[in-house]
Amino acid sequence: MADVILVLNAGSSSIKFSAFDVAGGALDLAAHGQVEGLFSSPRFVAFNAKGEKTGEHAWAEGTKLEHADAILHLVAFLRGRAAGHSLVGMGHRVVHGGARFTKPVLTNDEVLDELETLTPLAPLHQPHNLKPIRIIAERNPGLPQVACFDTAFHATQAPLAQAFALPESITKQGVKRYGFHGLSYEYIASALPGIAPDAAKGRTVVAHLGNGASLCAMHAGKSVASTMGFTAVDGLMMGTRSGNIDPGVILYMLDELGMNARDIEDVLYRKSGLLGVSGISGDMRALLASSDERARFAIDLYVYRIGRELGSMGAALQGLDAIVFTAGIGEHSKEIRQRVCEQAAWWGIELDAQANDRGDPRISTASSKVSAWVIPTNEELMIARHTLALIEGASA
């Protein structure tokens, strides 16, 4: 009987899954897919390890599918194909671990209660991340479920890097820079020694450029600073998030534009970034394909903001040995990589244009003072690894 670990990444309107076979300590992706559009037009799709579609289902337009029903659909689908397999544990992506959870943890009622108290720190993600754990625990209380946090990798940052210059009455409530995308950075840190040993040992900035985007300054594989702070809206310009803005703009929106907190949240998280600036799309592919001047300006600003924040990360590291691109835009857009590298030429990055066009792992020339790399991230595998380690630890 082969053991299987199921990884869930649940958001407000979608649940992504990956199933890994545990083969003698190794983890092999067996299936992946998602239920998306939970509250508009729900759709389920599943693929095998080769990327071939193995399952599909669409609910009627306008159906509102609760998370519990989506999970039941998912589990029923996997059960139907699970002959000879046994589910030994589930791993979940949870955005916030707060100050206490700086490592993945086996969940129980007490842990879940505490994680729920962190909802005000990540209201758009935390409740959705936790919901599936409760749903599955009710139906299958004996199944080990592990929560893996996007904040945990940044726990190595010095207090100085995490502090805001605010009064203690506020900072002691947990208001500090946590940093996010930690599972992605942890995966990259784990892959670096095999791909770029000098970058693994040195001062490296990893650019996670997806719908959400951030930079992480790593020294010898440990997080030293990151562009995301108290929430995942800080730092770089993103698909629909603003990235950092003068806090005075928020006061202006409140006092002068008659907006309330929810209106401002909507602007900062869903109507800004590439979408807000271009007025066209938050999707980088769409903007790169557009000849509209506003699309050009949005991309220019996107690249400029990366350059500015790269300077900040380099200062935190006291220099730069390597830069790594990852996530949707970082892995797939040679144009954005080229523009970021050209803008950062003053750091000593010399792009190898042909290697960049091919998407080689190394995209800088052999003589480049700062090396540049493309490494596909794998947050799901990172979660599966943690889940396996905790299950094995618990049964040892």
Which residues participate in catalysis according to the annotation? 150
Say whether residue 239 binds ligand AMP (CB under 6 A). Answer: yes
Q: Minimum distance between the CB of residue 348 and ligand AMP, rounded to whole angstroms?
A: 26
- By CB atoms closer than 10 A (0-12, 13-18, 19+), residue 194 is exposed
Which of 126, 223, 333, 356 touches ligand AMP (CB under 6 A)?
A: 333
262 is in an annotated binding site: no
Which of 43, 131, 222, 332 touches ligand AMP (CB under 6 A)?
A: 332
Q: Minimum distance between the CB of residue 54 and ligand AMP, rounded to whole angstroms?
A: 21
Distance, first Cα to last Cα, the chain: 20
The Cβ of residue 137 has, within 10 Å, a number of other Cβ atoms equal to 17
356 is in an annotated binding site: no
188 versus 320: smaller Cβ distance to ligand AMP: 188
Q: Minimum distance between the CB of residue 377 and ligand AMP, rounded to whole angstroms?
A: 8
CA separation for the pair 180, 228 (Å, rounded): 6
Look-up: residue for tokens 């594989």? Answer: 221
- 118 touches 161 (CB < 8 A): no
133 versus 329: smaller Cβ distance to ligand AMP: 329
9 is in an annotated binding site: yes
21 versus 283: smaller Cβ distance to ligand AMP: 283
8 versus 327: smaller Cβ distance to ligand AMP: 327
CA separation for the pair 178, 3 (Å, rounded): 35
Kind of pairing between the strands at 53-58 and 43-48: antiparallel
Say whether residue 74 binds ligand AMP (CB under 6 A). Answer: no
Q: Minimum distance between the CB of residue 300 and ligand AMP, rounded to whole angstroms?
A: 15
Q: Minimum distance between the CB of residue 239 and ligand AMP, rounded to whole angstroms?
A: 5
Say whether residue 33 binds ligand AMP (CB under 6 A). Answer: no
85 versus 334: smaller Cβ distance to ligand AMP: 334
> Binding segment for ligand AMP among 63-71, 152-160, 221-229, 324-332 (CB under 6 A)?
324-332
β-partners of residue 374 are: 325
208 is in an annotated binding site: yes
Residue 91's closest CA among 396, 394, 389?
A: 389
DSSP class per residue in 235-268 = SS--SS---S--HHHHHHHHHTS---HHHHHHHH
- 370 touches 349 (CB < 8 A): yes
81 is in an annotated binding site: no
Which of 119, 171, 190, 211 touches ligand AMP (CB under 6 A)?
A: 211
Which residue's Cβ has the minimum distance to ligand AMP?
328
> Binding segment for ligand AMP among 90-98, 215-223, 299-307, 328-336 (CB under 6 A)?
328-336
Q: Minimum distance between the CB of residue 31 and ligand AMP, rounded to whole angstroms?
A: 19
Strands (E), the chain: 2-10, 15-23, 26-36, 43-48, 53-58, 85-94, 105-106, 145-149, 203-209, 213-219, 222-226, 322-326, 371-374
Helix 247-255 to helix 261-270 angle (10° resolution) is: 130
176 is in an annotated binding site: no
Q: Minimum distance between the CB of residue 65 and ligand AMP, rounded to whole angstroms?
A: 22
Say whether residue 41 binds ligand AMP (CB under 6 A). Answer: no
210 is in an annotated binding site: yes
The Cβ of residue 247 has, within 10 Å, a number of other Cβ atoms equal to 8
- List the interface residues with ligand AMP, window 242-301 (CB under 6 A): 283-285, 288
Kind of pairing between the strands at 371-374 and 105-106: unpaired
Say whether residue 210 binds ligand AMP (CB under 6 A). Answer: yes
314 versus 330: smaller Cβ distance to ligand AMP: 330
3-state helix, strand, coil in the chain (%, to 5): 45, 25, 35
22: helix, strand or coil: strand
Sequence-ordered list of residues with C-beta below 8 angstroms from that of 219, at least 6 positions apart, any chain:
202, 203, 204, 317
Binding-site residues from annotation for substrate: 93
Give binding residues as ranges: 9, 16, 93, 208-212, 283-285, 328-332, 379
Residue list for the binding site for ATP: 16, 208-212, 283-285, 328-332
Binding site for ligand AMP (CB under 6 A): 210-211, 239, 283-285, 288, 327-329, 332-333
